[in-house]
Structures are given as C-alpha cells and as structure tokens.
C-alpha cells in the first residue's frame, strides 16, 4: 500500500478515504419540517442528494452522525445507505463534538477524512474530488473548501493573514464583527483532513462562542496555531454550496438543482422549450428528441420515449412511462401509468394506475377513478380505444381495443367494455343497434 508523509506529523495511506456526514441538526429555521436532512428538495431528501455525491467516491468508511429526529433519520440511512455507520450525537454539542463522536466509530482508520454537511443538496462528487485532490497534492493536514458569494448570510467567514494571504482562522457568523461579516469568502462546511491530524485537533475544543458549542472551525484554527499545514481550495461555484437553513435557502437549492438537471437533459438532446418554467426531478429518463413544453413538472421515476411531447402545464408523477410518440398535453396529470406508442391524452385529464394502448385517444376531462377509499386499482385501455370527453373510468375496469365511450359516460368497476363496443350514459351501457 502506498503511503505519504503529511508534514512532520503523519504518514497515511495515499488511497484510503473515510467520509463523515453531519446530519444531527434540528433545522429550527425550517419550521415544522422535522429533521432538516430529510426535508424534501426537488423530490428527494436533502440527505439523499448528499449521499449520491459521497457514494460516487467509493469511500472505505462512511459515518453518518444523527441526533435530532434520529428515530426517522436512522431508519432512512439503514434503508438507503448500505454500509454506512449510523452514530448518534447526544447531546448535540456542535460540529467539532460531532466529528469526535464520528471518529470514535472508526478508531483504527488511517488515511484521509472528508467531512461534509447533510444539508447541502447541491454538492456533487466532482466538488469532493477537487477538494480531495488538492488536499492530497499539497499533503495538507486540513483543506477547507471555500466559496465566494455576494451575501454568504449565516455562514462562517474565512479570515486570511494580510501579510501572506493564508488562512488564519474561520469565524462563525454569530461570533463575527461587522468587518468580518463583510468578507465574501465563506466556509462551505466541507473539509478534507488527515485522520491523525483531525483526531488531535478535535480532542480538546473550546466552547467560548455565542452558542456554547464545540466548533469544527476551531479545529482548523488550532491546526494553524500549532504549525499544521492548512490549505484552502475555492469551489468553482461556491454560491451553489450555501446549504439549507431557511425556506429561502431551500428555494435557492431547488432552483440550482433544477437548472443543473434541465441543463443535462438539454445537453443530451432533449428539447426543453423553456428551461425556466420546467421542473425535472432526479432519476427521470428522457429520450433525445422528446419535447418538453413550458410549465411542466416531471417527477422522479418517469421515463419518456423518443418523439414524445409533454405539456404545457402537465404533471407526470413517479412510475409514468410514455412510449414512442405518446403525447400528454395541457393540465394532464399522469401517475404510475403507461401510454403506449402514439397514445394521446391532450387536455384536462387524470390517469392514475392505468395502461393505455397504442394510438388510444383520451378525451378532454377523462378521469381514471383508481381509489376506492381503501386501495388503488388499475384501469386498462386497449389499443385504438376512443375515450369520450368527461368519461369516468371506475377501476378496476378494462376498455377493450377499439372500444368507445360517449361523452360523460361513467364506466363502473368490473363492468368491462368489450373490444369494438361503444358505451354511453350513467352507468355506461351499450345501446342496441338499429335493425
């Protein structure tokens, strides 16, 4: 195994990595939201976005610190983050204390340690790779990922030595003077450390601050004072790493993620007509050439095939599949349904738990009534079927291939419409053919 010397203090493996995720906070400025790290951000919890960034690095050890709301955070981590150590910080005495508790869960680990916050959903594995590469290149004891923003708000500021330009200390916003608050370079709360240096630095942290807590930022200051090598790596887009503490922060994070995701689909050849009014959650598959019209919302788990058109003002929820050339139009909501090739639902329609056959046409105002008050049921609409305006299909029910329903028909549960038959009325019935 390759090793390298880290100043005079430490020799550590060149390729061993542990990640500590701080997820114990209460989130008092997100009222009524429960544990902050499980607050939804573009269809996924904040912590899920961070998890994706972390697992992209394939760390040897991952420790997730829980605290407030651990009765729901711990099961989430167990279910969604296999292999992670879940550790409780009790009481919650600050970020420095949290890291010391986390290190106790991996007492024999030797290598590099990344510390990340669980409330920075914009974080990507590329950000962490840049930080880790700089940390290893300079053989630092600690490397701070910084950002620059016009208004860093509640985040700590990086105070540099005016003579050398090197980092002198990090001052939390609550403890900062007006002069320090005017500094635009802020602490993202994301760090790389040598494990031995980190253990030393958090062993005895002061609490002489506005919150009476042990700050991890004081560990940085301690390393500087004792001659450790502390470097700063500036993020390419630091404003995207401001974290989430308030509803305003959450809205900004959603906007940043939305733009990033839409940009990726555009780069892949998807025709997003108006990116500023289109929302696409993570884990949506869209084929090149599909057209997404303004004011459309695509939830995670949707799959949209080539030559499809969606919108304007459409909402596709999880489990929706549009096959080649299918069309979903104005004010149509689709959930857990498949529209086969060439099928159309163009106006004011709800399709839930439905299968729509090839080239079937769903008339304006159609509803699949899929919920009976206890459980949901499926509706099957055959190929080439014509569903008249205002039809209610009460599931479970099947409308056969080539069948038709008249305007405002109500097809009741288990009263299937045979292929090629036309039904009308309430409840729907097949009028007798003239002799």
CATH code given to domain 269-423? 2.160.10.10
| Confidence class for position 1, pLDDT limits 50, 70, 90 | very low
Residue 128 CA to residue 115 CA, distance in Å, equals 10
279: pLDDT strictly greater than 70: yes
Start-end of CATH 2.160.10.10 domains in the chain: 269-423
Nearest in space to 194 (alpha carbons), one of 159, 142, 133: 142
**Across 348-367, average pLDDT:** 98
| Confidence class for position 238, pLDDT limits 50, 70, 90 | confident
For β-strands 85-88 and 40-41, DSSP reports them as: unpaired
| Confidence class for position 240, pLDDT limits 50, 70, 90 | confident
Domain at 3-247: CATH architecture = Alpha-Beta Complex (3.90)
pTM for the model stands at: 0.90
C-beta of residue 306 within 8 angstroms of C-beta of residue 318: no
C-beta of residue 12 within 8 angstroms of C-beta of residue 4: yes
**Cross-strand partners of 142:** 193, 230
3-state secondary structure 331-362: EEEEECCEECCCCEEEEEEEEECEEECCCCEE
**Cross-strand partners of 10:** 6
Which member of 85, 154, 300, 347 is catalytic?
347
Buried-exposed string 180-206: b where 16+ CB fall within 10 A, e elsewhere = beebebbbbbbbbbbbbbbbbbbeebe
For β-strands 285-286 and 17-23, DSSP reports them as: unpaired
8: pLDDT strictly greater than 90: no
377: pLDDT strictly greater than 70: yes
Tokens 């769903």 belong to residue: 362
Residue 257 CA to residue 213 CA, distance in Å, equals 32
Start-end of CATH 3.90.550.10 domains in the chain: 3-247
Helices and strands: H and E segment counts in the chain: 8, 35
Average confidence score pLDDT of the chain: 92
Q: Is 265 a catalytic residue?
A: no
DSSP-H helix ranges across 87-181: 95-104, 125-138, 178-181
**By mean pLDDT, which of 219-233, 315-329, 387-401 is the weakest?**
219-233
7: pLDDT strictly greater than 60: no
């Amino acid at each position: 195994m390759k090793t390298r010397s880290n100043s005079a203090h430490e020799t550590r493996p060149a390729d061993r990595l542990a990640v500590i995720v701080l997820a114990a906070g209460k989130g008092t400025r997100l009222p009524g939201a429960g544990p902050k790290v499980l607050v939804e951000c573009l269809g996924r919890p904040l912590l899920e976005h961070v998890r994706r960034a972390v697992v992209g690095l394939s760390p040897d050890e991952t420790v997730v610190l829980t605290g407030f709301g651990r009765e729901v955070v711990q099961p989430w981590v167990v279910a969604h983050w296999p292999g992670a150590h879940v550790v409780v910080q009790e009481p919650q005495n600050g970020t420095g204390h949290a890291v010391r508790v986390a290190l106790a869960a991996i007492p024999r680990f030797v290598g590099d340690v990344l510390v990340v916050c669980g409330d920075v959903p914009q974080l990507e594995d590329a950000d962490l790779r840049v930080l880790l590469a700089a940390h290893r290149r300079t053989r630092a004891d600690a490397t701070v990922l910084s950002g620059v923003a016009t208004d860093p708000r509640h985040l700590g500021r990086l105070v540099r030595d005016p003579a050398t330009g090197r980092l002198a200390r990090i001052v939390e916003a609550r403890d900062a003077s007006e002069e320090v608050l005017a500094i635009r370079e802020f602490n993202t709360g994301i760090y790389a450390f040598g494990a031995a240096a980190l253990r030393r630095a958090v062993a005895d942290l002061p609490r002489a601050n506005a919150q009476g807590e042990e700050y991890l930022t004081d560990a940085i200051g301690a390393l500087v004072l004792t001659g450790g090598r502390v470097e700063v790596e500036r993020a390419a887009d630091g404003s995207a790493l401001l974290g989430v503490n308030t509803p305003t922060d959450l809205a900004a994070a959603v906007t940043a993620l939305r733009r990033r995701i839409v940009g990726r689909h555009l780069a892949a050849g998807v025709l997003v007509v108006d990116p500023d009014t289109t929302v696409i959650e993570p884990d949506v598959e869209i084929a090149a050439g599909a057209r997404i019209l303004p004011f459309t919302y695509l939830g995670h788990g949707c799959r949209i095939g080539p030559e499809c058109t969606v919108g304007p003002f459409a909402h596709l929820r999880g489990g929706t599949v549009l096959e080649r050339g299918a069309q979903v139009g104005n004010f149509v909501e689709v959930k857990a349904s498949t529209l086969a090739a060439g099928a159309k639902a163009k106006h004011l329609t709800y399709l839930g738990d439905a299968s729509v056959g090839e080239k079937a046409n769903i008339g304006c105002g159609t509803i699949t009534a899929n919920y009976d008050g206890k459980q949901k049921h499926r509706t099957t609409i055959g190929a080439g079927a014509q569903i008249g305006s205002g039809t209610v299909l009460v599931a479970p029910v099947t409308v056969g291939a080539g069948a038709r329903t008249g305007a405002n028909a109500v097809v009741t549960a288990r009263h299937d419409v045979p292929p090629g038959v036309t039904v009308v009325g309430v409840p729907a019935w097949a009028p007798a053919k003239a002799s």
